[in-house]
């Protein structure tokens, strides 16, 4: 979980790790409460299964908050993270697993309709069609893909739940639901009550001032993230509306935007908050905001 007071619109802080012989990116993601997709995007070119010992990698443990109401739960599909805004407390963030490429993605607002510990999993008709050997229901236990806790939304078949396959976090693996690591869903489950607002957004780019510095965070699209996972690289795509997003965030200092840094962040899509101010020490350059 990322937590602590948000500095401006950022939660958490970046860390690094030096690879040792036993490391894989998959295990490091699990150990640092990261999704596989975000650690792979932040360290493109590093072999996820056999990273070279001595390589210094980035642990992408800092995120700009999505442009969404800072209330209840906000799920940003593109950065594959869930943000929770407990009333009167600092925001929290958790890595998630999201639907497979075959499942249509949905954005909008719903709410938590019910919460159940030790849920029974009832496969949908489409899941039975995909695997006719599935039982009618799977009781609580190690074979239950919902894990030990489930938050049911008002949207049909959209559940925020744990998992018995933690290596799927940060991947496109679900049939429509949102998966969290077992420890993360337990923590979230104990805080969230029925009626909590849940907002789904799909924002590949986020921009905001953090103190006196303007930051831009750009993620692969979900299709690019899937391509990165399966091939080790992704096909470049333009980001519609990026310039407008940056200029809107930069107000009233639009002339201070470093467009070279913007272009580089958009091209690389590492998911790492990147300074895009011409002056890194904006407080000295521009005076108090």
Over the chain, what is the mean pLDDT? 90
- Work out the widest C-alpha separation in the chain, in whole angstroms: 66
What pLDDT does 286 receive? 38
The three-state secondary structure class of 107 is coil
Catalytic member of 128, 177, 219, 260? 177
What pLDDT does 33 receive? 97
**How large is the average pLDDT for residues 154-179?**
91
| pLDDT band at residue 4 using 50, 70 and 90 as cut-offs | very low
Query: 7 CB contacts (<8 Å, ≥6 apart)?
Result: 210, 211
Hey, where are the domains in the chain?
10-63, 66-201, 205-286
Q: Does residue 86 contact residue 135 with C-beta atoms inside 8 Å?
A: no
Cis-peptide into 223, omega within 30 deg: no
Distance CA(159)–CA(140), nearest Å, equals: 16
Distance CA(144)–CA(121), nearest Å, equals: 6
pLDDT in tens, 48-93: 999 999 999 999 999 999 999 999 999 999 999 999 999 999 999 9
CA 106 to chain centroid: 16
What pLDDT does 31 receive? 96
Q: Is the pLDDT of residue 112 over 60?
A: yes
Tokens of 250: 């930069």
Q: Does residue 50 contact residue 248 with C-beta atoms inside 8 Å?
A: no
What pLDDT does 280 receive? 55
What pLDDT does 1 receive? 60
Tokens of 36: 């596989």
- Could you please report the per-residue DSSP string of 58-92? EE--EEEPPSS-SSEEEEETTTTEEEEE-TTS--E
The three-state secondary structure class of 271 is coil
Q: Is the pLDDT of residue 181 over 90?
A: yes
- Bigger pLDDT: 135 or 204? 204
Distance CA(214)–CA(16), nearest Å, equals: 22
| pLDDT band at residue 99 using 50, 70 and 90 as cut-offs | confident
Q: Does residue 137 contact residue 153 with C-beta atoms inside 8 Å?
A: no
Active site residue 260: no
Rg value, the chain, Cα: 19
Q: Do the first three CATH levels of 10-63 and 66-201 match, i.e. the same topology?
A: no
Q: Is the pLDDT of residue 279 over 80?
A: no
Q: Is the pLDDT of residue 128 over 90?
A: no
What pLDDT does 119 receive? 93
Domain spanning 66-201: which CATH class is it, in words? mainly beta
What pLDDT does 288 receive? 40
Catalytic member of 161, 175, 219, 260? 161
* CATH architecture entry for 10-63: Roll (3.10)
What pLDDT does 164 receive? 92
């Amino acid at each position: 979980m990322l937590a602590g007071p948000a500095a401006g619109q950022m939660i958490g802080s970046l860390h690094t790790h030096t690879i040792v012989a036993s490391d894989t990116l998959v295990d490091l993601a699990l150990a640092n409460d990261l999704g596989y997709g975000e650690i792979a995007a932040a360290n493109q070119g590093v072999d996820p299964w056999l990273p070279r010992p001595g390589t210094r990698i980035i642990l992408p443990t800092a995120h700009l908050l999505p442009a969404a109401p800072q209330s209840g739960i906000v799920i940003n599909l593109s950065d594959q993270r869930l943000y929770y805004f407990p009333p009167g407390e600092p925001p929290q963030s958790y890595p998630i697993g999201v639907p497979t490429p075959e499942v249509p993605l949905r954005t909008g607002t719903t709410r938590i309709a019910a919460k159940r510990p030790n849920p029974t999993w009832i496969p949908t008709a489409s899941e039975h069609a995909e695997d006719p050997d599935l039982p009618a229901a799977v009781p609580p236990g190690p074979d239950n893909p919902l894990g030990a806790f489930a938050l049911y939304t008002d949207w049909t078949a959209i559940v925020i739940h744990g998992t018995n396959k933690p290596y799927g976090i940060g991947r496109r693996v679900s049939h429509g639901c949102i998966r969290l690591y077992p420890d993360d869903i337990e923590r979230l489950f104990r805080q969230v009550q029925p009626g909590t607002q849940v907002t789904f957004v799909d924002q590949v780019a986020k921009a905001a001032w953090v103190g006196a510095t303007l930051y831009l965070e750009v993620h692969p699209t979900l299709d690019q993230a899937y391509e990165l996972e399966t091939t080790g690289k992704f096909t470049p795509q333009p980001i519609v509306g990026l310039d407008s997003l940056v200029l809107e965030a930069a107000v009233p200092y639009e002339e201070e935007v470093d467009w070279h840094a913007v272009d580089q962040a958009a091209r690389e899509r590492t998911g790492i908050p990147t300074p895009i101010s011409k002056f890194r020490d904006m407080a000295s350059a521009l005076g108090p905001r």
